[in-house]
Structure 1
Amino acid sequence: MLHTITADSLFYEYYEQWIKVYKEGAIRNVTMNKYLMTLAWLKKLIPDLKLGDMTRITYQQLINDYAELHERQTTMDFHHQIKCAILDAVDEGLIARDPTRKAIIKGKAPREKKPKYLNQFELHTMLNSLELTQDISWDWFILLVAKTGMRFSEALALTPKDFDFPHQTLSINKTWDYKCGNGFLPTKNKSSVRKIQMDWLTVIQFSGLVKGLPEDKPIFVKQGKSVYNSTVNGVLERHCKAANVPVITIHGLRHTHASLLLFAGVSIASVARRLGHASMTTTQKTYLHIIQELENKDIDLVMRSLSELC
Structure 2
Amino acid sequence: MTSKRMKNNPNKWYCSFRYVNLDGETKQKKKEGFNTKKEADEWERNFLNDIKFNPEMTFQGLYEMYFEDIRPRLKEHTILSKEYLIENKILPYFKDLKISEIGPIDVQRWQNKLLEAVNPKTNKPYAPTYLKSINNQLTAIFNYAVKFHNLKNNPVHKVGSIGAKNAPEKEIWSLEEFTIFIDLVEDKELHLGFNILYWSGCRIGELLALTWKDIDFNRNTVNIDESYQRLQGKDVITEPKTKKSIREITVIKAVIDELKNYKESVYKPNNEDRIFHCTKHKFEHAITQICKRNNLNKIRIHDLRHSHASLLLNEGINIVALSKRLGHEKVSTTLNTYSHMIPSDDKILKVMENLSVTKS
Please classify the TM superposition score into its range, dividing by the shorter chain length.
0.7 to 0.9
In proportion to residue count, which structure has more strand? 2
Q: Which moved more, 1:31-40 or 1:279-288?
A: 31-40
- Which one of 248, 260, 270 corresponds to residue 311 of structure 2? 260
CA RMSD across the alignment = 2.8
Whether 1:187 aligns to 2:232 is: no
TM-score by length of 1: 0.84
Is the Cα contact below 8 Å between 1:52 and 1:94 reproduced in 2? no
Q: Distance in 1 between matches of 2:100 and 2:215?
A: 58
Percent of aligned pairs sharing the same letter:
22
Whether 1:59 aligns to 2:107 is: yes
Is the Cα contact below 8 Å between 2:89 and 2:134 reproduced in 1? no
What are the within-5 Å matches in structure 2 for residues 84-233 of structure 1? 84-90=140-146, 95-106=151-162, 116-131=171-186, 136-180=188-232, 181-211=234-264, 212-221=268-277, 227-233=278-284
Residue in 2 that maps onto 1:4: 49
Deviation at 1:301, TM superposition (A): 2.2
- Which one of 22, 31, 43 corresponds to residue 91 of structure 2? 43
Is the Cα contact below 8 Å between 1:263 and 1:294 reproduced in 2? no
- Select the structure with the greater relative contact order (CA < 8 A; seq sep ≥ 6): 1
Is the Cα contact below 8 Å between 2:90 and 2:138 reproduced in 1? no
Q: Distance in 2 between matches of 1:219 and 1:58?
A: 50
* Residue correspondences, number: 298
Whether 1:301 aligns to 2:351 is: yes
Whether 1:236 aligns to 2:287 is: yes
Q: Distance in 2 between matches of 1:88 and 1:151?
A: 31
Q: Secondary structure at the match of 2:173?
A: coil
Instruction: List alignment gaps of at least 5 residues for structure 1.
Output: 222-226
Deviation at 1:204, TM superposition (A): 2.0
Q: Secondary structure at the match of 2:336?
A: helix
Is the Cα contact below 8 Å between 1:68 and 1:107 reproduced in 2? no
Is the Cα contact below 8 Å between 2:198 and 2:304 reproduced in 1? yes
Q: Which moved more, 1:82-91 or 1:260-269?
A: 82-91
Is the Cα contact below 8 Å between 2:215 and 2:223 reproduced in 1? yes
Matching residue's letter, 2:175: Q
TM-score by length of 2: 0.74
Is the Cα contact below 8 Å between 1:7 and 1:51 reproduced in 2? yes
- Which one of 38, 48, 63 corresponds to residue 15 of structure 1? 63
Residue in 2 that maps onto 1:245: 296
Matching residue's letter, 2:186: E
Residue in 2 that maps onto 1:26: 73
Is the Cα contact below 8 Å between 1:153 and 1:178 reproduced in 2? no
Is the Cα contact below 8 Å between 2:60 and 2:95 reproduced in 1? yes
Query: CA separation of 1:234/1:298 partners in 2, compared to 1, >3 Å: closer, same or farther?
Result: same
Query: CA separation of 1:247/1:51 partners in 2, compared to 1, >3 Å: closer, same or farther?
Result: same
Larger radius of gyration: 2
Matching residue's letter, 2:201: G
Q: Distance in 2 between matches of 1:238 and 1:13?
A: 45
Matching residue's letter, 2:90: L
Matching residue's letter, 1:125: I
Instruction: List alignment gaps of at least 5 residues for structure 2.
Output: 1-28, 30-46, 118-125
Whether 1:68 aligns to 2:143 is: no
Deviation at 1:167, TM superposition (A): 1.1
